[in-house]
Amino acid sequence: MCGIAGIIYKNRNVETAELEKMTEKIKHRGPDSDGFYVENNVGFGHRRLAIIDVSHSADQPFSSSNSVLVFNGAIYNYLEIREELQRFGYRFKTNSDTEVLLYAYELWGENCVKKFNGMWAFAIHDRKKNILFCSRDRFGVKPFYYHADSEGFYFASEIKAILEVKKLKKINLQIVLQFLDTNFTEHNNETFFKEIFKLQGSHNLVYDLSDHSYQIKKYYDLVQNKKITKLNLQQSINLFEKEFERSIKLRLRADVKVGSALSGGLDSSYTVSVVSKLLESKSSEFTAVTVGCINKEDDEADLSKTITNITSVNHKVIYPTKQEFENAIQQVIYSMEEPFTGLSVYMQTFLMKEAKKNGIKVLLDGQGADEILLGYSRYAAAFMRSHSFKESFLFFLNIRRHYGISKLEALKIYFYFTNYHVRKLYLMFRGSNLKEKYKRKIDYRHIKKLNKSYSNIFELQKNEIFWAQIPQLLRWEDMNSMAYSIETRLPFLDYKFVETFLSINNNFKIYEGWSKYILRNCVEKFLPREIAWKRKKIGFNAPIEEWWPPSKEITDTINNSKIIQELFKNKFTCIHDRDFEWRLYNLAIWEKLYGMEL
């Protein structure tokens, strides 16, 4: 896991000092070493967080006779690919996945990415073809930002590295409006910075150095496997266990200390349980980290202690204070680089901080489980929409058993998520204080596409994974973890696991009154019923009222924002929607920290 940066100039040579400025801004991503490569108008910079083969022989930029690579991420199946490459005559001087990646490109070209099981963002200067080949992993776990103009092409793991060499201060008005009104920020390749873009997951970028043009191509999509859909319940449970254990085994490959995030929920509980099983007598060397909540209704620390006692893993529990949160407000907004929607990001921040304190350099986390196994209450709408009237009505009658929500809540969810016009009217009402000219600018097409997919659960899950939900969570996860030099690995987002369980019969994901039914059956083999069959979903909820009570200071910060003054008709007095208040406040702080302009 590392930080990468690069420059291609059209009419002059790259200077190492420019790359040094870029990588200095992202040194938290790679505190173990740095390196630079310059060949005329092409330059790479790299900061390394050593995880696999921690010797300096695996430092980057990494070169062969024809190519030079800078790479951020981890190729989990590198040992299997290495064996295949050896059969083709390749000889290795390191034990790293970096060397495997470069030789895989030299043998298979652009198709090498189809061989990889992992997370990555990389750039290869192919001297022979005179191109730059860039790629981002299937679901966009690792970031790749870029800017192109008349002078050249610039890329990096973080936006702030590009800002070191290009002073870009204009906001992307459409993304800001989407953030404030619809909560969507990752539905296309744009960012909050008008002239900075992101290479989306499942895409390659090929830059032709002869004419300075570039093309972006999608290399991967999710396809439903009808054979898996036909499996019965027990076969589906067995397959889940087998595939998840395979995913965990791959993600335990590291030459440094590995740990896990742990709430009292199903996803992290099962992860820790499987790790404990695989490590056997060494499970006490594995550390799980829990962030407790001072609001007892949202605190799962006691449940997490039960889990670690049973699985015999080491356990660290922290309770962040209001003062710690206040001290971290601006630091986290700066680290995130783009505004974010809620305070749960800070809970994750404190978890990463504690993990680093305990020497953990690789942390397993549960992102993706709810999207794959229909864990959110909004999926009730999709379930009812995609079944017969009789089946939907019976499901509706038992909705509290399925998701712990009332029938009235279920109706609201159904009409909001399945009827585009209802949802659009609500969003327009929520943004009623926007000036008319800005209200008219909001593009709702992605909302229409998402609502339409609620009639087909597979399509809905694809949308959630590729642009509507997962990319946002992954952006927060990456920025939070790398701020503390930690590599997070996500076993539920192993692409083979995702392919398998998006194809599983949906009636087994929600079954006999239980959401995530298959996972619950697997968890019960390790942990008590009160954990496996717990209905209330909490996770790492932040104590908003305790940490961030309404105040004049918050309102003043919002009203003093030049961007907000321009977008809205009136100044704000009392904002009842605290989520909306946070988005406004976050935007105002971000504007100040990055000197942004409308």
* HEC letters along 554-570: HHHHHHCCHHHHHHECC
**Domain regions of the chain by residue span:** 2-218, 231-373+470-534
The Cα–Cα gap between 259 and 252 comes to: 9
The Cα–Cα gap between 383 and 454 comes to: 8
Name the pTM for this structure: 0.96
pLDDT score of 525: 96
Asked if residues 212 and 8 have their Cβ atoms less than 8 Å apart, the reply is yes
> What's the CATH code, domain 2-218?
3.60.20.10
Asked if residues 79 and 280 have their Cβ atoms less than 8 Å apart, the reply is no
| Catalytically annotated residues | 2
Residues forming beta bridges with residue 63, ordered by sequence position: 68
Mean pLDDT in order along the chain per 10 residues (598 residues): 94 98 98 97 98 95 96 98 98 97 98 98 98 98 98 98 98 98 95 98 98 98 97 98 98 97 94 96 91 88 94 96 97 98 96 98 96 93 91 85 84 95 94 94 96 96 97 98 98 98 95 91 95 81 93 97 97 93 98 97
The Cα–Cα gap between 541 and 566 comes to: 33
CATH topology of domain 231-373+470-534: Rossmann fold (3.40.50)
Beta strands in 454-500 (DSSP E): 487-489
Domains 2-218 and 231-373+470-534 share a fold: no
**Dihedrals phi, psi of 210, to nearest 5 degrees:** -80, -35
Which token pair is 262?
Answer: 């742990």
The Cα–Cα gap between 253 and 249 comes to: 7
The four Cα atoms 263, 269, 272, 274 give a dihedral, to 10 degrees, of -170
